[in-house]
Structure 1
Amino acid sequence: MTAKPAVLITGASTGIGAVYADRFAKRGHDLVLVARDRARLETLGERLQRETGVKVDIVKADLTDEIDLATVETRVRDDARIGILVNNAGASVAGTFADQTPDDVAKVISLNTTALTRLTSAVTPRFIRAGEGAIINIASVVGLAPEFGSTVYGATKAFVLFLSQGLQLELGPKGIYVQVVLPAATRTEIWERAGKDVNALPAVMEVDELVDAALVGFDRRETVTIPPLPDADQWTAFEAARQRMIPNFAQVHAADRYQPAKEPAA
C-alpha cells in the first residue's frame, strides 16, 4: 500500500463527509467519494482536484439499495489503492418510535448499520492481507444516551460503537486501525431531514471543528474519539466500570438478588 492511501468516504456530498474529503485531500490522499447526489459530489470533487491536485473518483450510490451497495462493496474489496474507509453515511427520521413506520425504521437501520457493516466486511480481508489499513466509523453520543429520545437512531449508533470497539480488539493486532467518532449535535443537514430545527438546540458544533478534532484522535490512534467531551477521564472511568463487571458475568447460578424468596419456616 502506498504512503498516501486513497480514502473512500460515504455520505461525502455534504456535512461531515464533505469536510473529511477536504481534509484528506489537503493531506495528499486521493479520494473515492460516495453519495446519492452526483451534482454535489462532482462540484466537491472538481474543487478538491483543482485546489489540491489529488485524484477524485465519484460513485453515485444509495447505500440502502442492494445493487448500489454491492457496487461500493466491490470497489472497497478490489481497489488496492483504498487504504482508509470512512463510514460516514447515516440518517435519522422525524418523530418518536411510535410515530415512525416500519419502513422508516428499516431504512435507518439499513443505512446506519447494515451498509456500514457490509462495507467494513468487504474491505477487511484485503486489509488483513496487506497488514495495514484504517476504518473510521461515525457513531454518535446518542448511542450512549437513551435519555435523548432518538431510540432507533441511538440504537444504530450504539451498534456502531460496539462494532468498532470489537473490531479494534480483533483487527488491531493484524495492523488495522479502527476508530469510532462520537459527535454530539453538529450543524449538518441530518437535522432538517429528520424534521428538527438545529438552531433550536442548546449547543451545536460546527462541522469543520468536529472533523478537525476527530482527525486529532485519528492521528493519536484513539479507538473512541468524543470531540465534545471536555474530560477524558469520564470516558476512562466509564470504560473501567464496564470492564470491572466482565469477570462477574461468568456464573453458574443467578445472583442472590434474583433467587426466589424462601418461604418462612413453619
Structure 2
Amino acid sequence: MTDIRGRALVTGASTGIGAVYADRLAKRGYDLILVARDGARLAALAERLGEETGRTVEVLRADLTDPIDLATVADRLATDASITLLVNNAGMSLNGGLIDNDASALQRIIALNITAPTLLASAAGKVFVERGGAIINIASVLALAPELFDGVYSGSKAYILNLTLGLAKAYAESKLRVQAVLPGATRTEIWERSGKDVDAFPAEMVMEVDDLVDAALAGFDSGETVTIPPLADEGQYLAYDAARKALAPGLSRRDVAARYRVAVPA
C-alpha cells in the first residue's frame, strides 16, 4: 500500500506480536514508532521495515516498568499529532503464580501488564477522542478463562479487556476507536522468558504469530471491539457477552437476595 495513514506507536515491538504488527502496519502505509527495551533488535527491525516499505520507522527505547521511560512514551502520545494508532502490546508472564513469586516479580507484571497500558491508553485516548485515532489492546483468551492459567496473568488481561470495553461504551460517539485482541497460546518468546515450553501444548492449540496478527487486523478492519482469533464459533462469545450484560439489572439492589437472608431467631 502507498497511502499514508499517520503514525502507529507499537509497544513490545522488538519481537513476537509487536514485531509482526509493526511489519503489517508499515505495509498498510503507517509510519512507525517502535517501543521496547531491546534497542538493538528495534534498530534492526526499523532498518528492515524502512528498506522494505519506504515508511519512516523511529526507534524509542524504553522500559515501560520504569516510570520515567513510561512518562516519556505517554508524553509522545499526548503531543505528537502524527500518531493515529496505539498498539498496547508489551506484556509479560510469570514463572509460576501468585504464591510462587516474590514482591518484585509481582510488581513488575502489574507495572507492565496493567499500569503501562492504562497510562498509554489514557494519553492517546485524550487526543484521539477529538482528532480521531485507534487503540488496539492485546489481552488474552485467559481474560475469559482464568482457571486455565495463573490468576495474576489472566487477571491482568481481564483488566485490559474491561478497560477496552469501558472505553468503547463511554466514547462510542467520539472519534476514538478501540479493540481488544484476545490471543490463545501463540508461538512467541513470552513462553521461554517465563520458564514455560509452548511445545508442551498440543500442536493444534498453538497459533503462529503471523496468523494471529493477520486475524486481529481483519477483526479491526471489520470494526470489532473484541477479536478472538482462535474462536471458531463467534456465537459462543456473543452468547457469553449477552449473558454477562443480562446480569446488569440485578447487580445493585436495595434488597438482599433471598438466598442470603438469614432467619432471625425468635
TM-score per shorter chain, which class?
A: over 0.9
Are the counterparts in 2 of residues 172 and 178 from structure 1 also a CA contact under 8 Å? Answer: no
Deviation at 1:245, TM superposition (A): 0.9
Aligned partners of 2:234, 2:201: CA distance in 1, in Å?
24
Aligned to 1:190: 190
For the residue of structure 2 that corresponds to 1:100, the secondary structure is: coil
Which of 238, 257, 260 matches 1:258? 260
Paired with 1:237 and 1:142, the residues of 2 have a C-alpha distance of 17
**2:171 counterpart SS class:** helix
Q: How does 1:219-230 map to 2 (within 5 A)?
A: 219-230=221-232
Secondary structure of residue in 2 paired with 1:177: strand
1:50 aligns with 51
For residue 235 of structure 1, what is the aligned residue in structure 2? 237
Q: CA deviation at 1:250?
A: 3.3
Aligned positions of 1:205-220 closer than 5 A? 205-220=207-222
Query: 2:130–2:175: 8 Å Cα contact kept in structure 1?
Result: no
Aligned-partner SS, 2:235: helix
- The 2-side partners of 1:5 and 1:256 are apart by 56
**Residue 8 of structure 2 corresponds to residue 4 of structure 1:** no
- What are the equivalent positions in structure 2 for 1:75-154 lying under 5 Å apart? 75-130=76-131, 132-154=132-154
Q: TM-score, normalising length from structure 2?
A: 0.96
Determine whether 1:169 maps to 2:169: yes
In the alignment, the residues of structure 1 paired with residue 172 and residue 34 of structure 2 have an alpha-carbon distance, to the nearest angstrom, of 26
Matched residue SS, 1:96: coil
2-structure distance, mates of 1:69, 1:79: 15
Where 2:180 maps in the other structure, the secondary structure is strand
Q: Secondary structure at the match of 1:210?
A: helix
Q: Which SS does the other structure have where 2:247 is aligned?
A: helix
Query: Distance in 2 between the 1:67 and 1:257 partners?
Result: 51
Letter in 2 for 1:252: R
* 1:214-251 per-position Cα deviation (integer Å, ceiling 9, x unaligned): 00000011000000101000000001101111111231
1:139–1:181 Cα contact (<8 Å) kept: yes
For normalisation by structure 1, the TM-score amounts to 0.96
Distance in structure 1 (CA, Å) of the matches to 2:71 and 2:251: 39
Contact 1:142 1:150 in 2 (8 A): no
Which region of structure 1 is more displaced relative to structure 2, 43-52 or 118-127?
Answer: 118-127
Does residue 157 (structure 1) correspond to residue 157 (structure 2)? The answer is: yes
Matched with 1:73 is: 74
Contact 2:4 2:29 in 1 (8 A): no
Structure 2 distance, partners of 1:164, 1:193, is 27
Identity score, percent: 56
Q: Distance in 2 between matches of 1:116 and 1:251?
A: 33
Query: Gapped runs of 5+ residues in structure 2?
Result: none
Distance 2:242 2:152 in 1: 27
Q: Letter of the 1:139 partner, please give it.
A: A
Q: CA deviation at 1:148?
A: 1.2
**Secondary structure of 1:120 counterpart:** helix
Q: Distance in 2 between matches of 1:70 and 1:49?
A: 27
Distance 2:176 2:78 in 1: 15
RMSD (Å) for aligned C-alpha atoms: 1.2
Q: Secondary structure at the match of 2:93?
A: coil
**AA aligned opposite 1:174:** S
CA-CA distance at 1:128 after TM superposition: 2.0
Q: Structure 1 runs of 4+ off > 2 angstroms?
A: none
Runs (5+) with no aligned partner, structure 1: none
Contact preservation (8 Å) 1:180, 1:223? yes
Aligned residue for 2:184, secondary structure, equals: coil
- Offset at 1:261? 2.9
Shift of 1:126: 1.3
